[in-house]
């Protein structure tokens, strides 16, 4: 990307100290929920963070939303570093980064009217006239396809899909640069998902906003995003432009996810990749490559001892797997020669 | 595009119809009892009471109720000082309301505030508040009342203070649990993302969602406070004589219970009816205000 | 025919309205077959399944009509006592949330024991123990001898759901009703679980009714599929026939509105509007308000069932448009 990214995350880590009891003795341990994650979200683009539960995608979202503080690493929105924001800079950040959560039933305060919910990012950050606020609320409600005349209603008068539209209207009201969409359609009815996804896509262009999409459904990621990063146990294992990733997944874990995804037609035959076991506990992650205990393509000892680096493959497709070490080495060699 | 014209579901019933539905389902009997026994007497005591509740004539002492052959002017009979029991019960409703109202207001405010702080901020505040709650609830309230009354004397303010002291812990415990739950909800997360201050989140997001709990809790506590005040008065550390507190009247009637049972019986009946109907009202409110039950 | 349901009706009687949750549903299930019931939340698919076992949500729910012939016997006419001998033994259920399906205070061994003891008589104590370990091994639980002493909270979600599956198959039932059994599971765990169900079905010949909102699961698991909308089955047929020639506009819309993993989708077809709210008065075709082909008749009168679509005798759909033979899909 030529222009400066909207969001730049570098070396992000979030380790939670936990205490456990083992044989009646207290042991201190660390959960590495997010363990060195870096990515950019380009202006007006969508990056999908894909992974199973416990992979750290939700914690990453919380860190960017400043609902939690990173152990180390930086998050930059444009030129501002998110750490230790105060006063005007803090208010500005709060206006610029918004979120839409998974469950539209719990993410809208049942005791607030739609207009209060939608205008909250506006009213808490700076003084605006009532007329401005009313006009903006009507504008964003219209944009998400709701009747502005319903602004006086309470959330329970709306269906799930409509509530998700209200949440989006609220997120858009302060004209943000980045909206984090945390599984925005997975709790909606199937017949509502398509209209909601189309709405998200349409409004992205209209409001020129970037999305960070947290999602477990690969097909949704493909439809919604420009770029995809696959996470496993707190690390990004593969990161590429959406079309590159879907046309040629490289990491064995990504391949396994593809194989496990449900087909769109009974005649779709998928490569049978049987992943045995479950995601290991992030308290005691495996040595070397975090995926090696379940990996069907394990090469050998190197997988158990050495953490593979996230390296660029063919110039644009980043993957962290020893399978592609030779290729990377060859590339470096040829560059040197 | 048609998809853009999504209108609200079913266009819901109007406000007036909702209000009518509410009215129709009101629990009429408890409300009627509360009005007749508690509210109306408290407001119109001067007009309703046929006699002076504070003084009577010794000549007319220990008269049985009118319907049991006593003089027709004393509807529910007289006590050992010749005071009209009916009038005393009417004036006594004021004391019950005053003690319960003041005690719940003070105790409830303190408890709610501390509960909100504990549940929202957690950490040290939570530890301190929960420990204090445990401590308060583990001390027998009557004992504290006896000590306090012995130290500073039985007065209206003392009674209210003791009631508040017991109640705050009940409120704090309940509110903390609720605040804890709401503090983790997605809409609070969204408010934080929007930049709302802690104060705003507590006041605008959490408090309105526990308002129902507070209303229900208060009705249920009302019954408790009336009984509690009765017990205090009965033990002689409540409202001082000659005030016509219901509990005090029961206590005074105790020694005559065999010969003149009506002295203790009617104030006792007043307590029982009030508490029973207030609790029924509280139960009804709890069912009614629970959003999960009203959703469907 | 293992199970034949005819015109099943289960209504929910609430203070405010009568909700026709299941409004005249008919279908059948053969031995060893998997039938998918697809629908959104509120379509009545779960209440339909519960009704088969007379477990409709009480007190609001009541079965008001129809029959469910299980090997010729009407399940809906049976007493609660008789139903107890059928539930879990002849017909068992796997529910969505393994968290609440298992009792947290008993070990999984206890819970399986119970399933065996209430299900089958005549197993000696050691026999039960062995049977428990066997069934756990059948559902791919590693080290089953040790796992029998584990409590539910010591197992992961996927493992818990496999234990629930083990309980469901412990008495070798004829039918297993699986109500969204994988929605709480992760992708790779879901794949493991679906593979397991398929294998168990191959080895035992049990009939499976798979209740889901996901056409992907149908594509992967089912032989036949019935699409439910607002309490009615609007289309029914063999899975390939449905995917290749969806005949009801709702089915077409659903299939077209799901993003594909295999190919790039420029723009998804989006179904306008919202599903009907429960209790809403419904006349005519339930889907008419959201259907782009609907006309006045659709809004007034419920369409008849058209059979033999795509030249397949089992493929049926309820849609007025199919009156016109040119709209009927044909196999070529």
State residue A24's pLDDT score: 74
In this predicted structure, which of A227-231, B292-296, C19-23 has the lowest mean pLDDT?
Answer: B292-296
State residue C330's pLDDT score: 62
pLDDT digits (tens, 9 = 90+) for B88-126: 999 988 888 889 899 999 999 999 999 999 999 999 999
User: From the CA of A308, how many Å to the nearest CA of chain B?
Assistant: 35
Q: Are C177 and C94 in contact (CB under 8 A)?
A: yes
Mutate to test the interface with A, among B195, B210, B292 (most CBs of A within 10 A): B195
pLDDT digits (tens, 9 = 90+) for C23-32: 999 999 999 8
User: From the CA of A147, how many Å to the nearest CA of chain B?
Assistant: 7
The helices-and-strands tally (H runs, E runs) of chain C is 12, 12
Comparing alpha-carbon positions, the chain A residue that sits nearest to B295 is A156
> d(Cα A267, Cα C143) in Å, to the nearest integer?
36
In this predicted structure, which of A29-38, A271-280, C196-205, C305-314 has the lowest mean pLDDT?
Answer: A271-280
**Would B61 be classed as within a structural domain?**
no
Comparing alpha-carbon positions, the chain C residue that sits nearest to B21 is C16
Q: Where are the strands (E) in chain C, listed by range?
A: 3-13, 18-29, 34-38, 61-70, 73-74, 91-94, 175-179, 207-212, 224-229, 232-238, 305-306, 316-318
For residue A100, the cross-strand partners are A181
Whole-Å CA distances, B123 to A20, B112, B206, C124, C229: 20, 17, 18, 55, 49
Q: What order do you get walking across the sheet with C61-70 strand by strand?
A: C18-29, C3-13, C61-70, C73-74
Q: Which residue's entry shows tokens 């005030």? A: B243
Q: Are B170 and B221 in contact (CB under 8 A)?
A: yes
User: From the CA of B185, how many Å to the nearest CA of chain A?
Assistant: 6
pLDDT digits (tens, 9 = 90+) for B52-94: 888 888 888 888 888 888 788 888 888 888 899 999 999 988 8
More confident residue, B21 or C93: C93
**Mean pLDDT computed over C129-143:** 85
Say which of A189, A223, A275 has its CB closest to residue C188.
A275
Structural domain boundaries of chain C? 3-222, 228-260+268-327
Q: Is A206 on the interface with B (CB under 8 A)?
A: no
State residue A333's pLDDT score: 63
> d(Cα A54, Cα C157) in Å, to the nearest integer?
12
**Mean pLDDT computed over B247-252:** 85
- The torsion region of residue C22 among left (phi > 0), alpha (psi -120 to 50) and beta comes to beta
* Biggest distance spanned by C-alpha atoms of chain C: 68
Q: What order do you get walking across the sheet with C34-38 strand by strand?
A: C91-94, C175-179, C207-212, C34-38, C224-229, C232-238, C316-318, C305-306
More confident residue, A16 or B24: A16
Collect all residues of chain C within an 8 Å Cβ-Cβ radius of residue A268: 219, 262
Give C214's contacts (C-beta < 8 A, 6+ positions apart): A190, A262, C38
Instruction: Test A109 with B187 for CB contact under 8 angstroms.
Output: yes
Comparing alpha-carbon positions, the chain C residue that sits nearest to A220 is C259
> d(Cα A310, Cα A312) in Å, to the nearest integer?
7
Q: What is the number of structural domains in chain B? A: 1
Q: Which domains does chain A have, with CATH numbers?
A: 7-233 (3.40.50.300), 253-337 (no CATH)
pLDDT band at residue B246 using 50, 70 and 90 as cut-offs = confident
Q: Strand pairing of C18-29 and A46-50? A: unpaired
On the question of pLDDT at B40 being above 70, the answer is: yes
Comparing alpha-carbon positions, the chain A residue that sits nearest to B211 is A111
Neighbouring chains of C at 3+ CB pairs under 8 Å are: A, B
Burial of residue B217 (CB within 10 Å: 0-12, 13-18, 19+) is: buried
Q: What is the CATH number of the domain that holds B90?
A: 1.10.3720.10
The whole domain housing B48 covers: 28-53+68-295
Collect all residues of chain C within an 8 Å Cβ-Cβ radius of residue B1: 272
Say which of A91, A147, A170 has its CB closest to residue B7.
A147
Alpha helices in chain A (DSSP H): 57-64, 87-96, 114-123, 130-143, 160-173, 190-207, 218-224, 242-247, 252-260, 301-305, 325-336
For residue C74, the cross-strand partners are C69
Instruction: Test A150 with B8 for CB contact under 8 angstroms.
Output: yes
User: From the CA of C230, how many Å to the nearest CA of chain B?
Assistant: 15
State residue A1's pLDDT score: 44
User: From the CA of A292, how many Å to the nearest CA of chain B?
Assistant: 35
State residue B295's pLDDT score: 40
Say which of A65, A157, A165 has its CB closest to residue B9.
A157
State residue C120's pLDDT score: 59
Whole-Å CA distances, A35 to A30, A232, A235, A309: 11, 10, 6, 13
State residue B225's pLDDT score: 87
Q: What's phi and psi for B69, nearest 5 deg?
A: 95, 5
Collect all residues of chain A within an 8 Å Cβ-Cβ radius of residue C159: 278
Say which of C186, C219, C270 has its CB closest to residue A263.
C219
**Would B7 be classed as within a structural domain?**
no
Neighbouring chains of A at 3+ CB pairs under 8 Å are: B, C
State residue B4's pLDDT score: 37
pLDDT digits (tens, 9 = 90+) for B213-230: 898 888 888 878 888 888
Instruction: Test C273 with B3 for CB contact under 8 angstroms.
Output: yes
Comparing alpha-carbon positions, the chain B residue that sits nearest to A120 is B194
Say which of B9, B192, B193 has its CB closest to residue A159.
B9
Which residue from A161, A179, A78 is spatially nearest to A121, judged by alpha carbons? A179
Q: Is A128 on the interface with B (CB under 8 A)?
A: no
Instruction: Test B2 with C274 for CB contact under 8 angstroms.
Output: no
What mean pLDDT value characterizes chain C?
A: 88
Say which of B2, B3, B10 has its CB closest to residue C277.
B10
State residue B198's pLDDT score: 94
Comparing alpha-carbon positions, the chain A residue that sits nearest to B294 is A156
Comparing alpha-carbon positions, the chain C residue that sits nearest to A281 is C156
Instruction: Test B9 with A97 for CB contact under 8 angstroms.
Output: no
State residue A35's pLDDT score: 92
Collect all residues of chain B within an 8 Å Cβ-Cβ radius of residue C274: 6, 9
Say which of C14, C273, C277 has its CB closest to residue B6.
C273
State residue B11's pLDDT score: 43
Which value does ipTM take for this structure?
0.87
> d(Cα C283, Cα C289) in Å, to the nearest integer?
11
Q: Is A91 on the interface with B (CB under 8 A)?
A: yes
User: From the CA of A114, how many Å to the nearest CA of chain C?
Assistant: 19
- Give the residue numbers in B contacting C (CB under 8 Å), as ranges: 1-3, 5-6, 9-10, 296
Q: What is the DSSP string of C292-307?
A: TT--HHHHHSPPPEE-
* CATH superfamily, with its number, for domain C3-222: P-loop containing nucleotide triphosphate hydrolases (3.40.50.300)
> d(Cα B248, Cα B270) in Å, to the nearest integer?
13
State residue A335's pLDDT score: 60
On the question of pLDDT at C38 being above 80, the answer is: yes
> d(Cα B85, Cα B76) in Å, to the nearest integer?
6
On the question of pLDDT at C215 being above 70, the answer is: yes
Residues in chain A with pLDDT < 50?
1
User: From the CA of B119, how many Å to the nearest CA of chain A?
Assistant: 17
Instruction: Test A192 with C277 for CB contact under 8 angstroms.
Output: no
Burial of residue A80 (CB within 10 Å: 0-12, 13-18, 19+) is: middle
Instruction: Test A264 with C217 for CB contact under 8 angstroms.
Output: no
State residue C332's pLDDT score: 44
**Mean pLDDT computed over C126-145:** 84
Collect all residues of chain A within an 8 Å Cβ-Cβ radius of residue C272: 195
Instruction: Test B6 with A121 for CB contact under 8 angstroms.
Output: no
More confident residue, B91 or C115: B91
On the question of pLDDT at C15 being above 70, the answer is: yes
State residue A331's pLDDT score: 62
> d(Cα C140, Cα C263) in Å, to the nearest integer?
34
């Amino acid at each position: 990307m030529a222009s400066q990214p909207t969001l730049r995350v570098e070396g992000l880590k979030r380790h939670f100290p936990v205490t456990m009891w083992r044989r009646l003795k207290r042991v201190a341990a660390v959960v590495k929920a997010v363990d060195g994650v870096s990515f950019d979200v380009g202006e007006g683009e969508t990056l999908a963070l894909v992974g199973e539960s416990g992979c750290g995608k939700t914690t990453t979202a919380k860190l960017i939303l400043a609902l939690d503080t990173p152990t180390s690493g930086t998050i930059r929105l444009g030129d501002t570093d998110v750490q230790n924001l105060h006063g005007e800079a803090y208010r500005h950040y709060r206006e610029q980064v918004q979120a839409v959560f998974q469950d539209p039933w719990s993410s809208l305060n049942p005791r607030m009217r739609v207009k209060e919910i939608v205008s909250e990012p506006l009213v808490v950050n700076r003084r605006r006239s009532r007329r401005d606020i009313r006009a903006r609320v009507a504008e964003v409600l219209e944009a998400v396809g709701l009747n502005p005349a319903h602004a006086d209603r309470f959330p329970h008068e709306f269906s799930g899909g409509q509530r998700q539209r209200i949440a989006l209207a609220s997120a858009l009201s302060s004209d943000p640069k980045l909206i984090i969409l945390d599984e925005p359609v997975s709790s909606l009815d199937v017949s509502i998902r398509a209209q909601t996804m189309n709405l998200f896509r349409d409004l992205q262009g209209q409001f020129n906003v970037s999305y960070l999409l947290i999602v477990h459904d690969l097909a949704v990621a493909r439809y919604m995003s420009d770029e995809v990063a696959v996470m496993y146990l707190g690390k990004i294992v593969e990161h590429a432009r959406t079309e590159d990733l879907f046309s040629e997944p490289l990491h064995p874990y990504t391949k396994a996810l593809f194989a496990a995804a449900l087909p769109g037609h009974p005649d779709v035959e998928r490569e049978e990749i049987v992943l045995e076991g479950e995601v290991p506990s992030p308290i005691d992650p495996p040595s070397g490559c975090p995926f090696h205990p379940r990996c069907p393509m394990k090469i050998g000892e190197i997988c158990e001892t050495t953490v593979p680096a996230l390296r660029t493959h063919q110039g644009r497709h980043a993957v962290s797997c020893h399978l592609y070490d030779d290729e990377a080495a060859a590339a470096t060699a040829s560059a040197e020669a | 595009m048609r998809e853009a014209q999504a209108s609200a579901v079913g266009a819901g019933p109007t406000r007036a119809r909702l209000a009518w539905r509410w009215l129709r389902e009101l629990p009429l009997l408890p409300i009627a009892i509360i009005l007749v026994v508690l509210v109306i007497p408290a407001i119109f005591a001067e007009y309703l009471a046929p006699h002076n509740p504070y003084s009577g004539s010794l000549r007319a002492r220990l008269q049985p109720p009118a319907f049991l052959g006593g003089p027709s002017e004393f509807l529910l009979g007289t006590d050992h000082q010749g005071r009209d029991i009916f009038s005393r019960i009417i004036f006594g409703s004021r004391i019950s309301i005053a003690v319960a109202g003041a005690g719940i207001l003070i105790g409830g405010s303190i408890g709610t505030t501390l509960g909100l702080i504990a549940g929202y901020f957690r950490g040290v505040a939570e530890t301190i508040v929960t420990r204090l709650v445990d401590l308060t609830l583990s001390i027998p309230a009557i004992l504290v009342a006896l000590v306090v009354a012995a130290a500073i004397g039985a007065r209206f303010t003392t009674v209210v203070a003791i009631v508040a002291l017991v109640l705050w812990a009940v409120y704090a415990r309940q509110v903390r649990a609720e605040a804890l739950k709401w503090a983790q909800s997605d809409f609070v997360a969204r408010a934080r993302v929007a930049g709302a201050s802690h104060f705003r989140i507590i006041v605008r997001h959490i408090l309105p969602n526990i308002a129902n709990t507070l209303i229900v809790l208060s009705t249920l506590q009302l019954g408790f406070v009336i009984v509690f005040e009765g017990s205090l008065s009965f033990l002689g550390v409540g409202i001082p004589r000659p005030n016509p507190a219901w509990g005090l009247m029961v206590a005074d009637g105790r020694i005559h219970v065999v010969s003149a049972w009506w002295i203790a019986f009617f104030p006792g009946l007043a307590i029982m009816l009030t508490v029973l109907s207030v609790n029924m009202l509280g139960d009804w409110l709890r069912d009614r205000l629970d959003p999960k039950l009203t959703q469907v | 025919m293992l199970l034949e349901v005819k015109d099943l009706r289960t209504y929910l009687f609430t203070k405010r309205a009568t909700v026709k949750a299941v409004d005249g549903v008919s279908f059948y299930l053969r031995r060893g077959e998997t039938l998918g019931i697809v629908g959104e939340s509120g379509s009545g698919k779960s209440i339909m399944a519960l009704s088969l076992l007379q477990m409709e949500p009480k007190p609001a729910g009541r079965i008001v009509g129809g029959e469910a012939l299980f090997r010729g016997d009407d399940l809906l006419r049976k007493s609660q006592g008789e139903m107890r001998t059928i539930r879990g033994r002849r017909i068992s259920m796997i529910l969505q949330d393994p968290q609440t399906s298992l009792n947290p205070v008993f070990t999984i061994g206890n819970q399986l024991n119970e399933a065996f003891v209430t299900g089958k008589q005549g197993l000696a104590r050691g026999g039960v123990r062995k049977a428990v370990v066997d069934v756990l091994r059948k559902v791919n639980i590693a080290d089953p001898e040790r796992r029998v002493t584990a409590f539910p909270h010591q197992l992961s979600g996927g493992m818990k759901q496999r234990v629930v599956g083990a309980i469901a198959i412990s008495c070798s039932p004829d039918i297993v009703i699986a109500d969204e059994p994988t929605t709480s599971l992760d992708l790779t765990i879901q794949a493991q679980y679906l593979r397991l169900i398929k294998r168990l079905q191959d080895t035992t010949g049990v009939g499976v009714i798979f209740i889901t909102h996901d056409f992907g699961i149908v594509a992967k698991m089912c032989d036949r599929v019935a699409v439910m909308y607002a309490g009615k089955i609007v289309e029914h047929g063999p899975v390939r026939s449905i995917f290749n020639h969806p005949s009801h506009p709702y089915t077409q819309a659903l299939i077209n509105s799901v993003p594909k993993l295999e190919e790039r989708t420029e723009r998804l077809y989006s179904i306008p509007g919202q599903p009907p709210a429960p209790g809403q008065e419904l006349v005519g075709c339930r889907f008419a308000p959201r259907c782009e082909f609907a006309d006045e008749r659709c809004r007034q009168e419920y369409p008849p069932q058209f059979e033999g679509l795509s030249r397949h005798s089992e493929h049926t759909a309820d849609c007025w448009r199919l009156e016109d033979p040119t709209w009927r899909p044909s196999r070529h």
